[in-house]
Structure 1
Amino acid sequence: MKKIRIVIADTNKEYLESLGAYMRTSSNSNQFIVTYFSNNEALQGYMDQGEIVDILLISPEMKLQELQNLEDMFVILLEDDVLASSGQSRPSVYRYQRLDQLVANILGLYYENNEEAGKLLDRTNQTTIISVYSPNGGTGKTTVAVNLCKQLALHESKVFYLNFETFNSTKLFLANEEGNPSLQIYYYVKTASNQLLSKIELLKKHDPYAMVDYFDIEINAEEMLELTKLDVKNLINGLLETGVYDYIVIDLDSTLHVRNRTAMNESDMIFWIVANDNVGILKTRSLLDEEEKLFGRENVIKDKMSMILNKFSGNLIGDFNEMDLTIDGYLPFIHSWMEQQSKTDLLGNDAFNQEVQSIIRRLIVTEREGMNNSGL
Structure 2
Amino acid sequence: MKWISMSKRNLIVAVQESSYIERLGDFIRQSSFGSGWQLTAFTNPAALRSYMRGGYAVDLLVAQPSLLDELGELAESVLSAALVGQVGLSRHKHQVLQYQPLPQLLQSFAAIYASTEQHPMKLTDEGDGEFGGESAGGASIISVYSPAGGIGKTTLAMQLARQAAACGARVFYLNLEQWNAAPLWDSRDGREDFSNLLYTLQAAPDKAASQIVALRKRHPWLGVDFIVPCENAEERLSISAEHVKRLLGAVKATGEYDMIVVDLDSRLDAAHFGVFQASRHVLWLLNHDPSSLRKTELAMQYGEQKMGPSFEALKAKFRFIRLTPFGGSETEWHSGKIASLSLTASVPFVKEWAAFGQQGVAGWFDAPQYRGAIETLLGKLGELKPGGESGAASERRNSPAAQGSNSQSA
TM-score range, shorter chain: 0.5 to 0.7
| C-alpha distance 260-142 of structure 1, shift in aligned 2 (>3 A) | same
CA distance in 1, matches of 2:270, 2:224: 26
CA distance in 2, matches of 1:221, 1:118: 24
2:309 aligned with 1:299, yes or no?
Answer: no
| C-alpha distance 169-300 of structure 1, shift in aligned 2 (>3 A) | farther
Question: By how many angstroms is 1:335 displaced?
Answer: 1.4
Q: Which residue of 2 aligns with 1:140?
A: 152
Question: By how many angstroms is 1:123 displaced?
Answer: 2.2
| C-alpha distance 290-217 of structure 1, shift in aligned 2 (>3 A) | closer
Q: Which residue of 2 aligns with 1:216?
A: 228
Q: Which residue of 1 aligns with 2:262?
A: 250
Q: Match of 1:175, SS?
A: coil
CA distance in 2, matches of 1:359, 1:119: 23
| C-alpha distance 185-311 of structure 1, shift in aligned 2 (>3 A) | farther
Q: State how 1:1-376 maps to structure 2 within 5 Å.
A: 115-116=128-129, 120=133, 123-124=136-137, 126-170=138-182, 172=183, 174-175=184-185, 179-181=189-191, 182-183=193-194, 184-217=196-229, 219-297=231-309, 298-313=311-326, 314-319=328-333, 323-340=339-356, 341=358, 343-345=361-363, 347-365=365-383
CA distance in 2, matches of 1:128, 1:201: 18
What 5-or-longer segments of structure 2 have no aligned partner?
2-126, 386-410
Q: Match of 2:370, SS?
A: helix
Q: Give the counterpart letter for 2:317 in structure 1.
A: K
Q: Give the counterpart letter for 1:332 in structure 2.
A: P
Compute the RMSD of aligned alpha carbons.
Answer: 2.8
| C-alpha distance 120-221 of structure 1, shift in aligned 2 (>3 A) | closer
Tell me if structure 2 keeps the 8 A contact 1:197–1:238: yes
Q: Match of 1:130, SS?
A: strand
Tell me if structure 2 keeps the 8 A contact 1:329–1:359: yes
Percentage of matched positions with identical amino acids: 28
Structure 1 segments of 4 or more deviating over 4 A? 117-122
CA distance in 2, matches of 1:361, 1:279: 30
Residues 204-256 of structure 1 show CA distances to partners (whole Å, capped at 9, x for unaligned) of 11101001110113522111011122211211111111111111111111111
Q: Which residue of 1 aligns with 2:107?
A: none
Tell me if structure 2 keeps the 8 A contact 1:157–1:246: yes
| C-alpha distance 200-278 of structure 1, shift in aligned 2 (>3 A) | same
| C-alpha distance 209-118 of structure 1, shift in aligned 2 (>3 A) | closer
Question: By how many angstroms is 1:149 displaced?
Answer: 0.3
Tell me if structure 2 keeps the 8 A contact 1:129–1:268: yes
Question: By how many angstroms is 1:131 displaced?
Answer: 0.9
CA distance in 1, matches of 2:325, 2:209: 41
Q: TM-score, normalization: structure 1?
A: 0.61
| C-alpha distance 230-137 of structure 1, shift in aligned 2 (>3 A) | same
Tell me if structure 2 keeps the 8 A contact 1:127–1:246: yes
